[in-house]
Chains A and B, each alone.
Chain A
């Protein structure tokens, strides 16, 4: 089977990966790079568990062909942690009870990060819109929204 070289930057680091045409960015991240933070949920772009930030935008990595990720810049949840230090979003999710099974969490956090990168002071409605492509079966979303609001208000809540 023909393989192609895919060059991309993930969490600030450059990689060159041999990929099959049928691989998706999600496959590259999880199987080739061992970055299993990003999850495979529905595999068809409806649940958001596979959300990463690519070239500054939140996207479903399960719908991006590996070959189409060539030359791009990708951030995953692993890129948010600095050594031992959690990102404020990760910290807030833990503190505010926004995590139960944890499966939606990486995708939720990346959607939240994409929002805050563009709009550091969103309304609650804007937060709910931003995570409308991330399904959670456990929490009922309330604590997730509060955690994100907390981060955006920097603890002024």
Chain B
């Protein structure tokens, strides 16, 4: 690793001043499970590393009946998995967190870090997209909120400027008559890289049981995770029959553009989109509340 200066600001304002001053040359250290690896591999070489460890409330997970969830930057996958409220109200987040790494990684890694790293195969992003999440950004000069879909620009590139920090993820409260699920295909074992990620959030009409609203987000099969809008539109007003799901799978597969990676062809991954879409819709329907 290239040598760097290490800071531990005690307030958010202090941290924001640092990023305002150092911009591109600084990086925020959350769990370090991406940053430290990249620094070792020299794909990132910051001059300044800023740890927000002592900033108050940076590890808060807040749930409000009306406002939904607010996840601060240092909330680890392990804390999300350990929250009975998340398990009950947002099982799709449990699915997504379990897909990331290993137990050791989940004890340190953070969901905010996962988004900021913006790997096209990131496991938490498709679920955050279907949940209609928004990203809170702060800089020394202001703040703004960006819907997660607009936050991802390109592989490993987000909409945050070098002087901005993500200070939270906002997730609206769950809708009635809705169910969500995230399925993923790993390279070989369960802890390997994700080759295809599929998140769905289905809302059905309580009387007719047809699909009233569907959100589908696919990961690892395009330059960034994206909404499969053609598939979503196809499913509106339909039931969850096998024929419908099969056709939906075809459409989703055609919306995907995976490249060949790790000796696995893009064509195979396109086929697997169909399989995962089928499984995730079925699971989402099982979880309807």
Q: Which residues of A contact B (CB under 8 A)?
A: 1-2, 4, 20-22, 24, 43-46, 48, 51, 57-60, 63-65, 67-68, 111, 114, 129-130, 132-134
Tell me if A60 and B105 are in contact (CB < 8 A). yes
Q: Which secondary structure characterizes the binding site on chain A?
A: mixed
Contact B33 A45 (CB under 8 A): yes
Q: Do B6 and A45 touch across chains, with their CB atoms under 8 A apart?
A: no
Total contacts A to B, CB within 8 angstroms? 80
Give the chain A neighbours of B104 by CB distance below 8 A.
45, 48, 51, 58-60, 111, 133
Q: Please determine whether B190 and A132 come into contact, CB atoms closer than 8 angstroms.
A: yes
Q: How far is the CB of B39 from chain A (nearest CB, A)?
A: 8
Least CB separation from A42: chain B residue: B37
User: How many Å lie between the Cα of A99 and that of B124 in the bound state?
Assistant: 36
Residues of B within 8 A of A43 (CB): 40
- The digit string for B1-36, where 1 denotes a CB below 8 A from any CB of A, is 111111000000000000000000000010011001
Question: By the criterion CB–CB under 8 Å, are B33 and A63 in contact?
Answer: yes
Q: Is the CB of B6 within 8 A of A63?
A: no
Contact of B36 among A2, A46, A63, A134 (CB under 8 A): A63
Contact B103 A65 (CB under 8 A): no
* Chain A proximity of B189: nearest CB distance (Å): 8
- CB pair B190 A63 closer than 8 Å: no
Say whether A22 contacts B1, CB under 8 Å: yes
A129 with B103: in contact, given A2-B5, A65-B29 (CB under 8 Å)?
yes
CB within 8 Å for A22 and B103 given contacts A63-B36, A64-B32, A132-B191: no
A58, B51: Cβ atoms under 8 Å? no
* Distance from B142 Cβ to chain A, minimum over Cβ atoms (Å): 29
Interface string of B98-117 (1 = CB under 8 A from A): 00011111011000000000
B49 in the interface (beta carbon within 8 A): yes
User: Is residue B271 contacting chain A, with contact meaning CB distance below 8 A?
Assistant: no
